[in-house]
A = this chain, B = another copy of it.
Amino acid sequence: MVEKISLAHGDGGELAHQLIQNVFITTFGHHDQAKLDAAILHIPQEKLTISTDSFVIKPTFFRGGNIGKLAICGTVNDLAVSGATPLYITVAFIIEEGFSIPQLQKIVSSMAEEAKKANVRIVSGDTKVVERGSVDGIFINTTGIGVINTEEMLPKTIDKQDVIIISGTIGDHGISILSARGELGLVTELNSDCASLNDLTSEVLNVSSRVKMMRDPTRGGVATTLVEICEDFNVTIEINEDALPVKEEVEGACDILGFDPLYLANEGKLLLIVAKEDEEKVLAVLKKFDIGREATTIGRVSEVETNGRLFLKMLLGSRRRLNRLAGMQLPRIC
């Protein structure tokens, strides 16, 4: 095992997977539960679910949001994709000495606004300040609690021919953040897609009992999220290159910079696995929302088999195996 933490350990890719397996799961003695973003709390009478996330995004402010809005959306989404209704959220700040209080106020206001929009209540908080140079600006942890209706508990069994749906264009957040950093000479008008997804998830679960799984493909992108599903649930998935919704600006930036939209982070996109017979119903519901207008089917489950794999069907008919994100792509993307 490597002895030093590298940036890739936090990137949602292969090394992060190893770190979690080797250090955390082994030590804490967890199994299935620790694999999920949201953990179910077994409390009499109610199924609660809890999820924690720290946000270290750079820069703190970006087109379409800031670290505060992101911290609320991120945790709301982790709960929502497990099928839960988010209820409460805790917030903990680590702030660098010298940080601007007006900027902090803006961040906190965004959090309050987004919490209201997502109908979650902020409860319990903590603030630590560290000396200049000991943290880069501001980092925020949010932990959310939701209640879950046992009938809606996901994942359900995934079957051959189930379809893979995405609620909109992919890679917007990743390219928007790259652009905000101004590091690569990239300038775009692109907004991050940062948004709370709980209205979408609850509406979708209302109309369909055949949603098998939902995820929000953040760090590591759509490809890494699907590879994890293939491995954990023993299915092989094929996605179609020509079906992937990608904004022109994202495609252009990827061409120039050598990124693949399938591996770029999203912060307001819902990825669903749904039984074929409910495909149209689910798409219709998603399209009712502003943030779901471009929802589309991007692939299907081609086999149920151990050693499940993810394939990309290319325009010209060949297929290419996709793996988990390897090594560092974009540190501090969330």
A interface list, Cβ under 8 A from B: 1-11, 16, 19-20, 23-24, 27-30, 33-34, 36-39, 41, 43-46, 48, 50-56, 58, 87-88, 90-102, 104-105, 108-109, 111-112, 115, 122-131, 133-136, 139, 141, 143, 145, 147, 331-332
Contact = CB atoms under 8 A, between A and B. Distances in A.
A98 B4 contact: yes
Most buried by B among A88, A97, A126: A126
Nearest to A127: B10
A141 B5 contact: no
A120 B207 CA distance: 38
Given A94-B54, A101-B2, A139-B94, A123 B23 contact: no
B24 A108 contact: yes
A88 B331 contact: no
A100 B9 CA distance: 12
A52 B125 contact: yes
A110 to B, nearest CB: 10
B92 A52 contact: yes
A111 to B, nearest CB: 8
Contact of A90 (B3, B52, B96, B134): B52
21 contacts: A2-B101, A4-B100, A5-B100, A9-B127, A19-B127, A27-B108, A28-B108, A33-B123, A39-B90, A39-B123, A41-B87, A46-B46, A48-B145, A52-B91, A52-B143, A54-B93, A54-B128, A90-B143, A92-B143, A130-B332, A131-B331
Nearest to A40: B123
A131 B332 contact: yes
Contacts of A24: 108, 125, 127
A23 B108 contact: yes
A243 to B, nearest CB: 31
B131 A88 contact: no
Contacts of A4: 98-101
Contact of A7 (B28, B129, B133): B129
A123 B128 CA distance: 23
A36 to B, nearest CB: 8
A213 B277 CA distance: 58
A58 to B, nearest CB: 8
Nearest to A90: B52
A55 B108 CA distance: 21
A54 B105 contact: no
Q: Which of A23, A38, A141 has the most CB atoms of chain B within a 10 A radius of its CB?
A: A141
Given A52-B90, A97-B7, A112 B19 contact: no
Contacts of A5: 95-101, 104, 129
B56 A130 contact: yes
B50 A97 contact: no
Given A41-B87, A43-B87, A50-B88, 10 more contacts: A5-B95, A5-B101, A9-B95, A10-B129, A28-B122, A30-B122, A45-B46, A50-B143, A130-B136, A134-B332
